[in-house]
Amino acid sequence: MASYRGAIVDMDGTLVRGGSLLPGANEGIRALRENGTDLLLFSNNPTQPPERYIERLAVHGISISKEQVLTSALVTAEFLEAEYGERDLFVVGETYLCDLLRERGFTVRDDPDAAELVVGSIDREFDYDELTRALWALEDGAPFVGTDPDVTIPASKRLVPGSGAIINAIAGVAGREPEHILGKPAPEAGAAALGRLGVRAEDCLVVGDRLDTDIALGERIGATTVLVRSGVTTPDSLDENAVQPEYILDNVGQIRELLEN
C-alpha cells in the first residue's frame, strides 16, 4: 500500500452529514489506519469542541482522540494568541468560540466601541442589530479576522448558511475585507494541520468534499488531494472550478483502492 504518513480528513460531507455516518466512512478510516497513516480530522465548523466530534464518531464505532481533531476555531484562537496577544474582542460567533477565546486570555466585549479586534464567524442568531454592532466595531480600523470562509455548510437534508455568509455581510457593510480568514484553505490552517501530524506535506493526503476549502488546502501546502462526491461538490462545479483534485472517489471508503494502486 502507498506510504502516506499522514491524512487530513474533512468531517461534514466526508465522514458525516448531520447525525448520520456517510457510506464508506468506517471502511475509509480503517484502510488509512491499516496503512499506518496518522489521521487528523479537520473541520471548518467553529461551533463545536473536539470532544463533540469524538462523541459523534464514537456513536458509529469510530474511535479518535482529542489530539486528532482540529477545527477552524482552534486555528483562529492559536493565530490570535500568537499575533495579537490579550486584546479586547468583539465576536460575532457562537458560545464555544467565545468561551475558547476567553480561555486563551482574550476579553470578549459586548460594547463595539471597546473592541480592539473583530472576529466574524457563524452565529445562528445573527440579526440586523448584531450586524450594526459589528459595523461600529470596525469603524476605527480594528483588525478584522474570520474563522473560516464556508458560505454554506451541509446540514442533515440541505445546505444552510455558514461563517462565510456572515463574514461577507460584515465585510459588505464595513467596506473592507478581513485581514485573515483562518480555516481551510488558509496557510495558517495548513501549517497547524501539518504541525499536529508531524509530517511533510508531500507525505500527506488531504481528503474532503469541497474544492474551495479541502482541495484548495491540499493544493496550497503541496499534499496529495482526494475529492469525495459525498458532499457539496457537483459535477458542474467540478468542471467549472480552477481548483482540481488529483483523485476523485464516490466516498471515502474507496480510499483503500487508492492506497493499493
Q: How much is the mean pLDDT over the chain? A: 95
d(CA 60, CA 159): 23
Q: Which cell goes with 210?
A: 469541497
- Which tens digit of pLDDT belongs to each residue from 119-151? 999 999 999 999 999 999 999 999 999 999 999
Tell me if 214 is assigned to some domain. Answer: yes
Tell me if 53 is assigned to some domain. Answer: no
Tell me if 52 is assigned to some domain. Answer: no
Domain extent, residue 245, equals 6-44+184-260
For residues 177 and 188, membership in a common domain is answered with no
E strands present in 62-128: 69-71, 88-92, 107-108, 117-120
d(CA 98, CA 108): 7
First to last CA, the chain: 7
**pLDDT category, 2, cuts 50, 70, 90?**
low
Q: Which cell goes with 109?
A: 466585549
Tell me if 227 is assigned to some domain. Answer: yes
For residues 127 and 218, membership in a common domain is answered with no
For residues 229 and 160, membership in a common domain is answered with no
Q: Which cell goes with 204?
A: 500527506
DSSP assignment of 138-168: TTT---EEES---SEEE-SSSEEE-HHHHHH
Tell me if 131 is assigned to some domain. Answer: yes
Total-model pTM: 0.94
Tell me if 209 is assigned to some domain. Answer: yes
Tell me if 64 is assigned to some domain. Answer: no
Per-residue DSSP letter, 22: P
Domain's final residue, options 163, 181, 199: 181
Residue at 162: amino acid letter: G
The owner of cell 480594528 is: 142
**Domain count within the chain:** 2
- Which tens digit of pLDDT belongs to each residue from 71-120? 999 999 999 999 998 899 999 999 999 999 999 999 999 999 999 999 99
Which domain CATH number covers 167? 3.40.50.1000
